[in-house]
Amino acid sequence: MNKQSLSRRTVTMSLIATALSVVLGGFSAQAAALKVVATTSLVADLVQSIGGDRVAVTSLMGPGVDPHLYKPTAGDIIKLTRAEVIFYHGMALEGKMGDLFARLSRQGRSIHAITQNLPPEEWIVPEESPQHPDPHVWGDPRLWKTCALKVQQVLVQLDPEGKELYLAANQQYAQRLEEWMAWGKALMDRIEPSKRILITSHDAFNYFGRAFGLKVVGVQGISTASEAPLADIIHVVDLIREQSIPAIFVESSVSPAIIRRISEDAGVQVGGELFSDALGASGEKGSFESRSWDLGTYAGWLGHNVSTISQAMVPSNAP
């Protein structure tokens, strides 16, 4: 054996050793963690926030994915059947996954809708479809607290040893939500009252609007599955002109075509892209005034949206 092949062999051996230690190290770190599969990035982030190191969370939908239209892949089914616990949003947000959830439940899987404990009096129910309450409850941090509590309860039940940690994490999370709520409300209050109208692609911001004092107009309705009728588009254009609305917004998980068209017809600027049904990319940072955030978290969802709206709607806040 010559020197070159020996050194190559040494390199190969050390690579194998490294790979083994990664696998074994990974295995020992993961062995204790509860294997969780979450449907949307928002649900995954919530479970991670409450579960900390005791959970290993996999999200089926990544940044920019529309949950109303998402169809589970063969790979998703494998992930779901291997999970120790499954969390989904519920309220028919995952519009194409209802049958799958029912089947998994019948099979005796541990599967939970995080919105299950929301009191019906908190629901926003559209007049045109009274059977389908609006699912976009994360827009209101106080309702998201109820969802966090549901996650905490399930985790305590499945992993009683982690009870103290889950309770403490939930308490801390609830407090942070209150702080974000107060910060966001103060920013929205800077918008001139007659212009507190949020116009976006689809009706994802009704709870957000109720929590932060904005009237909300979603051109496409509650689900992205339907297209906006022409009459609705004309109505929105008229509204923008009558109220001199300074900006309208596109969404990260919905096609911007209709909003761009309204922007041209009404002569109003597109004030930026809001996160509606999905979080942004994990690790990407944002900030405004005293607050900063990671776009892959709920704080990032709220911080980005509130600051984007504020900068477009309040002239003195513009960058």
Which one, 277 or 294, has the nearer CB to Zn ion?
277
Task: In whole angstroms, give the CA distance from residue 294 to residue 261.
Answer: 31
Which residues between 201 and 220 bind Zn ion (CB under 5 A)? 204
Which one, 173 or 212, has the nearer CB to Zn ion?
212
Output the smallest distance, CB 276 to Zn ion, in A: 6
Output the smallest distance, CB 202 to Zn ion, in A: 6
Task: Single out the segment in contact with Zn ion by CB under 5 A; choices: 151-159, 196-204, 235-243, 294-302.
Answer: 196-204
- Taking alpha carbons only, the member of 77, 53, 62 closest to residue 166 is 53
Which one, 170 or 201, has the nearer CB to Zn ion?
201
Task: Single out the segment in contact with Zn ion by CB under 5 A; choices: 102-110, 138-146, 151-159, 275-283.
Answer: 275-283
Q: Which of 45, 140, 273, 277 binds Zn ion (CB under 5 A)?
A: 277
Task: In whole angstroms, give the CA distance from residue 277 to residue 68.
Answer: 9
Task: Single out the segment in contact with Zn ion by CB under 5 A; choices: 32-40, 48-56, 199-207, 266-274.
Answer: 199-207
Strand partners, 165: none
Task: Single out the segment in contact with Zn ion by CB under 5 A; choices: 50-58, 260-268, 276-284, 307-315.
Answer: 276-284
Output the smallest distance, CB 204 to Zn ion, in A: 4
| Residue ranges with strand state E in the chain | 34-38, 55-59, 85-88, 111-113, 197-200, 215-218, 247-251, 269-274, 285-288, 291-294
Q: How many residues bind Zn ion (CB under 5 A)?
A: 2
Reading the block at residue 5, the tokens are 């092949």
Determine if 251 is a binding residue for Zn ion (CB under 5 A): no
Task: In whole angstroms, give the CA distance from residue 146 to residue 298.
Answer: 14
Output the smallest distance, CB 224 to Zn ion, in A: 6
Reading the block at residue 95, the tokens are 């519009």
Output the smallest distance, CB 203 to Zn ion, in A: 7
Output the smallest distance, CB 198 to Zn ion, in A: 14
- Taking alpha carbons only, the member of 247, 264, 269 closest to residue 314 is 247
Which one, 170 or 206, has the nearer CB to Zn ion?
206
Output the smallest distance, CB 314 to Zn ion, in A: 26
Which residues between 105 and 164 bind Zn ion (CB under 5 A)? none
User: Three-state secondary structure along 216-227?
Assistant: EEECCCCCCCCC
DSSP class of residue 194 equals G
Task: Single out the segment in contact with Zn ion by CB under 5 A; choices: 24-32, 238-246, 273-281, 293-301.
Answer: 273-281
Task: Single out the segment in contact with Zn ion by CB under 5 A; choices: 198-206, 279-287, 296-304, 306-314.
Answer: 198-206
Burial 44-82 (b: 16+ CB within 10 A, else e): bbbbbbbbeebbbbebbbebbbbbbebebeeebeebbee
Which one, 94 or 277, has the nearer CB to Zn ion?
277
Strand partners, 37: 58, 86
Task: In whole angstroms, give the CA distance from residue 62 to residue 281.
Answer: 8
Output the smallest distance, CB 225 to Zn ion, in A: 10
Which one, 42 or 177, has the nearer CB to Zn ion?
42
- Residue keyed to tokens 């504020």: 310
**Which residues contribute to the site for Zn ion (CB under 5 A)?**
204, 277
